[in-house]
Amino acid sequence: MIVLDANVLIALLDRQDALHVRAFDLVEDHAWEAFCASAVTFAETLVRPSRLGLAYAHEASLRSVGVRIVPVSRAIARGVADLCAHERVGVPDATAVVTTQHAEGRLATFDRRLGKLARRHGVDLAEPYDDGGPWPFPT
């Protein structure tokens, strides 16, 4: 299971986004795996499309890729609260990490800070396979 962060979903849906190709490559490279995003991440992803009247179209696009929306359970909510209480992190990022832990999956994000936080809490990252092209962040 690959849990998609908002920046990956936003880049995937917006062809003008600087990271669109990387997001597309990531999804394409892992096409045999299941994809999901938390309900919080889903809401974060739909803010701009909602302003533009495109929320339903974007939701349909995510469904066509097979992205399942994971509800925030009590256990996830408690984990998010605990992570926020002990780290300098907001609810959206904490939700991405805790959702990934509960899914026993890997997190796909283009946010270095979130990636470091995830790794500190035992979450592996999903990345596009190296095709020799430039990756936006040095490792």
User: Taking the domains of the chain in order of start, what are their residue ranges?
Assistant: 2-123
Per-residue tokens: 55: 């929320």
pLDDT tens profile 12-41: 999 999 999 999 999 999 989 999 999 999
Residue 94 and residue 80 in contact, taking contact as beta carbons nearer than 8 Å: yes
Q: Which of 21-30, 59-68, 90-99 has the highest mean pLDDT?
A: 90-99
Contact (CB, 8 A) for 9 and 105: no
Per-residue model confidence (pLDDT) at position 128: 73
Q: What is the pTM of this model?
A: 0.89
Binding site feature residues: 5, 93
Q: Would the pLDDT of 131 be above 70?
A: no
What number is the average pLDDT over the span 100-119? 96
Q: Tell me the C-alpha distance between 15 and 91, whole Å.
A: 27
Q: How many CB atoms lie within 10 A of CB 27?
A: 22
The whole-number pLDDT of residue 127 equals 82
pLDDT value of position 130 = 55
CATH fold for domain 2-123: Rossmann fold (3.40.50)
Bind-site residues for Mg(2+): 5, 93
